[in-house]
Structure formats: C-alpha cells, structure tokens
C-alpha cells in the first residue's frame, strides 16, 4: 500500500469510529435528559431502573466490542503509515513531519478511559435517580 491508500483506509475507519462515538454520545445525552426530567417515584420505579441498567450495559458492551477494536486497527494503520512515510522520498518535508506522528497520542488508552468513565457516570446517575425517587423520597 502506498501513502495515499493508507491514509484513505484510515479516514474510512475514522468515519466509522466517529459514527460509533456519535451513537454512544446520543445515547448518553438521551438517557441523561430523560433521567433529569423525572420527578416522581411513579415515573421511575425500581424495576425501570433495573431494566434501563441492563439495557445500557448491553448497549455499552456491544458498542465497545466494535469501537475498541476499530481504534486498535486505526492505531495499527497509523504505524504502517509512519513506516511508509519514513521510506518515502517524494513527500514535502512538512508533510513528512506531520504524517510521521500518530494523529492522537495514547488514543487507545484515552478511548477506554473516556468510554468507561462516561458509562460509569450514567450507571451511577441511574442508581442515584432511582434511590432519590424511590428510597429517600
């Protein structure tokens, strides 16, 4: 593969990755907004909290099962790009410098941390809202 082909594949994978992040973000925002709108125990019984928690856990597992390997694949292709750029003599020095580094440093670890911190925050919010509305209220 040449430099242009590698960049093209990376861009296609980035587009897919962004789609999964967008889907995840929309789910987080929708759940948060819905939970914020609840004010009475009858609106959010414990059973609903359990069902929402199970559904959200299934969602994050399924989403992560695509998002995390996709992130690894992009990282691997960036390494291939860096090696290809190092061997290329036809690129402008400025472009060679830019393409000789990963787009995002520590991307995989950052993805894991951000993904699961948001997931934990939503799970805690579900539990808190169920507690406030049904136990303490």
**Do the Cβ atoms of 52 and 130 come closer than 8 Å?**
no
Cα–Cα distance, 114 to 112 (Å, whole number):
6
Spatial CB neighbours of 122, under 8 Å, sequence gap ≥ 6: 28, 31, 32, 56
Cα–Cα distance, 134 to 137 (Å, whole number):
6
**Do the Cβ atoms of 127 and 38 come closer than 8 Å?**
no
Note the helical H segments in the chain: 3-37, 46-87, 93-99, 107-131
Mind listing the pLDDT tens digit for each residue in 79-91? 999 999 999 888 8
Predicted local distance difference test score (pLDDT) of residue 137: 61
Mind listing the pLDDT tens digit for each residue in 91-119? 888 888 899 988 888 999 999 999 999 99
Cα–Cα distance, 56 to 126 (Å, whole number):
10
Q: What is the pTM of this model?
A: 0.86
Question: Considering the chain, what percentage of its residues have pLDDT values greater than 70?
Answer: 99
């Amino acid at each position: 593969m040449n430099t242009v082909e590698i960049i093209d594949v990376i861009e296609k994978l980035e587009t897919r990755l962004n789609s999964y992040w967008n889907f995840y973000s929309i789910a987080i925002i929708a759940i948060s907004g819905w939970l914020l709108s609840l004010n009475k125990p009858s609106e959010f019984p414990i059973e609903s909290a359990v069902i929402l928690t199970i559904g959200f856990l299934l969602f994050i597992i399924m989403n992560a099962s695509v998002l995390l390997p996709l992130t690894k694949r992009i990282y691997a292709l960036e390494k291939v790009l860096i090696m290809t750029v190092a061997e290329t003599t036809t690129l402008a020095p400025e472009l060679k410098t830019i393409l000789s580094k990963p787009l995002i440093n520590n991307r995989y670890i950052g993805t894991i941390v951000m993904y699961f911190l948001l997931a934990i925050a939503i799970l805690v919010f579900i539990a808190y809202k169920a507690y406030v509305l049904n136990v303490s209220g």
